[in-house]
Every structure is written in structure tokens, then in C-alpha cells.
Chains A and B, each alone.
Chain A
């Protein structure tokens, strides 16, 4: 086998996978016109591609197809119903935070508490924020699933980037860790064990309890267990700017 043939054969699989540059494709085609052996090699590889694609496709019968689709849509409907309920909580929490911010005289405390699945969390974010990435962390930093969600905020208002870590476990306890500037506080504070605690009770009786450590990381533990489905996270969202809440 010539050196040229060896070089061409290295290109055959990327060629069939659609990965070659135009000039490489042209080189390949020219060589195939002259070299039967390499042309047959390419045909052999192409045949393998076709056989793989055909064998790996599996027909779904109509019953299974309907079951899969109906099941998926039913879950979406159920999740939407929960989301509608939770939006009410968002407003309640947002109003609370806004009132607190105004009371304490701090302009831009920023906290996140929203609702969604791993892929859909941006649907619940505040209008002024754009989700940059939401990446599952493995191994999880907490007892269940941990996400690192990076948000880019409206440059006109909030600080440029916030990295939030959100975690939940299957028992329904949700832990949210988020960074806020030092000195910002949320809600009514009380001191216990040397820490200043934030506490708020939502309309449905959910009790939010949290504290802020020396580096500014704010830990909020939702104390009411809730059913979690798959990768669904429970987070509430509010962006506060100049005392106003936006969603």
C-alpha cells in the first residue's frame, strides 16, 4: 500500500462522517478515480454505515408510540399545574424580598428560588437574567443532584454574573446556595448559634430558613418536604432592583 493510499484511508471514516474539509474531499475523490483498492475500501465502509443505521433503528408499534407520547405530555401538564401554583409563591416571595430590601436600605440583593427541570430552568428566570449554563455536577456536592447555574444579568442593573449552586434530594428537602454581596440580608433576621438567620413563611406554609456565611454565601434550606420528579428542582426566582421585583 502506498503512502498516499495510507493517508487516504485515514480520511475515509471522517469523510463518511461528514467531517472533512472541502479540499480533503476533493483529494479523496481524485484518488478514488485512480485507485480501485481505496475506492472499494470506501464502499465497504459506506456499507457498514448503512447497515448500522438500518439495524439500529427500531420500530415502535402504534400502541407503544402512543403510550410514550401520552405519558410525556401528561407529565408536562402535571408540571405546568405545579408551576402555576408556584408562580403565586414567587410573587409572594418577591414581594417579601422587595419589602425587606427597602426596609433594610440595600439596593440589589439577589437571590434565586425558581422551578423547573434540568433543561427548562430558564423558563422561570427573571426577565432581566439570561441563563448561560446549567451543568449537573458529578459527584454532587450535596446529598442529591447539584447544579451549577450561571446567569448573566442585565448589565444595567444587577451585578454581572452570579454563580448559583442548587441542590435537592429525593426526600424533597431543597438546599439553595447562592452568593449575595456581603451585608445584604433577606427577611427577618434572628441570631442563633452565632449565625444570623433569615426566616420567612410562604402562603402555603412553606418555611424558608437560611443563613449567610462570612464569605457572603447564603444558604437557604426549605424545610417543607415536597415531591420531586426526576431532575425537577424547586427554586423561586426574584430579581430585585431598586426595590422593584421583576420576573
Chain B
């Protein structure tokens, strides 16, 4: 177990990751004020609980775990079901047929990529159900492993992988749609 830390030392560790942590909080809460509150709560917990961090291990991943746990705790306090752990894998997706079509035409995405802007991606991310959004962000932003995400969200590793797959499928579909709206031609 680690030891307590000076504030300046803790800030130096935290500074390079704040934007990504805030981005994660923002994409999970969909509200800037809530995201700032979530991040402040997480920084509070992290600084206070720094003795729980093992020196030499991945500080960024540790912080992302704290933000995720803070988000889940916040939802519990609001008496909402812990949405990140809901089992939606059995829910039929009405656009599965489209997703299947696109799954094999993913190279469209490469042509579309240059036309996609940040706002499109943010909108597409926000449209993902939280159950899919959380694992995707934790892999892409935090660099957590499938096992770490499974433990954090209390779901099986297979569910993590399946949600990642479906999240990316949906994202590609939405971004392809945005690109088409911008008049970019996408041919198979």
C-alpha cells in the first residue's frame, strides 16, 4: 500500500490526465456542471485515499476507476438503478440489420473518417446507451484492460467484449450517417 502524498506531488501526477478524466465525466453525465462535480468528488476521493495507490502502477487507470466508482455511487444516491451494470445484451436492436451490413463494410469508415468532426463523434457517443458508452470510454480513454473493466462494472469479460463490439458498430453507423448528411459519398 502507498503512503500519503503532498498536494503539489498529487497535482503533478494528476495534471496530465485531467482533460481525459473530465472528458470521461462529461460523456457519462452529459452535463458540464455534473461532470465538474463528479470530477471534484473523484479528486477528493483520490487525494484522500492516495495510500491505496501502489507506486509504479498505472495512476491514470487508478483515477479512471475512481471516477467510474464515483459515478456509480452518485447514481445509487439518486436511487437510480446502477445503469452501468444493467444487462441489455438481450434487448433486440432494431437497427441490427444495418449494423450487420456495415460490419463487413468497415472500410467505408476509412473514407468517411476525414469528413467526421469532433461534434459528430461527441453526439454519436452521447447517443450510445451508458452500458455501451462506459466500457468504450474506459478502453479508449483510460486504457483499462477488459478484466479491469469487467471488475469495475461487475460484469463478465464476455459482456465487456460484446458491448465494446456493439458500441463500435453503432458508432460507425452513426458517424457514417453524419458523413452522408454532410454530402460525403460512401460507396461499398
Q: Which residues of A contact B (CB under 8 A)?
A: 1, 13-14, 17-19, 37, 40-41, 43-45, 47-49, 51-60, 64-65, 67-69, 71-73, 75-76, 79, 117-120, 122-123, 136, 138, 145, 230-231
Contact = CB atoms under 8 A, between A and B. Distances in A.
Contact of A57 (B1, B19, B113): B19
Contacts of B36: 64, 67-68
Contacts, number: 134
A52 B128 CA distance: 13
A40 B124 CA distance: 23
Contact of B23 (A43, A56, A79, A123): A56
Most B-side CB within 10 Å, residue of A57, A60, A230: A57
Given A69-B11, A120-B52, A54 B171 contact: no
Interface in B40-92: 40-41, 43-45, 47-49, 51-52, 66, 69, 73, 76-77, 82
Given A51-B121, A231-B73, A56 B27 contact: yes
Most B-side CB within 10 Å, residue of A13, A45, A58: A58
Given A47-B110, A136-B73, A73 B47 contact: yes
B154 to A, nearest CB: 10
What bracket does the count of chain B residues touching chain A fall in? 35 or more
A17 B164 contact: yes
A23 to B, nearest CB: 18
A109 to B, nearest CB: 27
Nearest to A64: B36
B22 A58 contact: yes
Main secondary structure of the interface of B (DSSP, over half): helix
A103 B147 CA distance: 51
Interface of B: 1, 7, 11, 18-20, 22-24, 26-27, 35-36, 39-41, 43-45, 47-49, 51-52, 66, 69, 73, 76-77, 82, 104, 106-107, 109-110, 113, 116, 118, 121-122, 125, 136-137, 139-141, 143, 145-146, 161, 164-165, 168, 171-172
Nearest to B44: A72
12 contacts: A48-B113, A48-B168, A55-B125, A56-B121, A57-B141, A58-B23, A69-B43, A72-B40, A76-B44, A76-B47, A119-B45, A231-B73
A182 B187 CA distance: 76
A230 B37 CA distance: 12
Contact of B118 (A44, A49, A55, A79): A55
A-B pairs, 3 with minimum CB distance: A55-B121, A72-B43, A119-B49
A73 B5 CA distance: 12
A42 B73 CA distance: 37
